[in-house]
Structure 1
């Protein structure tokens, strides 16, 4: 490994070779041509007085769950180069799950990626446990944006060989299918009394209107017959001389009057 290394020690001092041993164990490579910067008594630090994107690797070593402080996580991300790594090597009386998860959550919130826990193969005094958590600074900057190229989804290519038999679509139709259907004539006799027979009437309305004109009643009177005296529907024997239904067969009030009688009978 080459580059700048920043080591933060919670309390006291530690030999340089111990710091380098931890770096070798994490990076799994030889350490050469490095510029180490070691900060001791770092438990009270709230910021790092150095330029941004200066450090290739940061190692934090301590024995307290409160080290390092929350404010330092953003500083770690700032001073690391894009792609730089950070490693926490903590030795505690008892390593709890919430301790590691809290540390991983702080790294994630600060903007680190590829966060994972590292097993430490160390011989420690009885009652002490050590663990490691590492993360990586992304190559992209926080807040940056870039366009996504959507994959072009083309239509599946259908290969047709000369050996394939194609079906003539006209052969799927029979002679009956090709004949023009005879649509039934639509009559408008039941549409309403306000409609009149058309010029080329074939539904029978024209004949009906002609009979009505000869009888001297309107279509409304035939479609919905009413009677002021109550005797119009009983027949001619009960009708007065001015009754409009004179000559028509008996009927029920409110029901259509049938005109299927000889026109000559309307004179009696």
Structure 2
């Protein structure tokens, strides 16, 4: 145990009381400091304060539930030394590392580990998390000096126009002005009627060729009778009842 020379305060955890005084005296001689003694089965009931020891020596490592407790009891960079342990060293090393110990090493029937050089539960600001005063003020708004925009100025007259209710009717299934295969809301019939009206209007022809001039030039059975004059070739929408009349 010469590697532990100069450590001021140690804890010796024992399981076999035979020659206990001799082993404790050897540890005192090796470290040159004080040595406290605790039984392995009484460790969970002990009330040692955090960061109490520079070194903890365990005679038999059967402490699966207490390695974290030992980590708290050690001072930062304190040492943990185990000997005469039972079971494979690999599984024991894994248990110690998972408890927070570092710099674990294996010797002949011994294991040594170290507590990190900071107190358990301490925190430190990361370098990239430092506050940059100039960066924090980039989006700062002073309030009174800022000119606010009236929301009404963002809308023009076209935005304020109400939509045509006829164009708002859509199929609940397709979400568009397109009827689904099993349409039962009447949209399919409406679209079919509009299609027939448009087709009939495109196919309507004048027998005299003067219908576009107005009622003064139209005959009594003219489908455009009562409608204003229009330009030659202009598409004119006819009512359904007029499309059934003979031209």
TM-score, normalised to structure 1, is: 0.41
Greater radius of gyration (CA): 1
TM-score, normalised to structure 2, is: 0.44
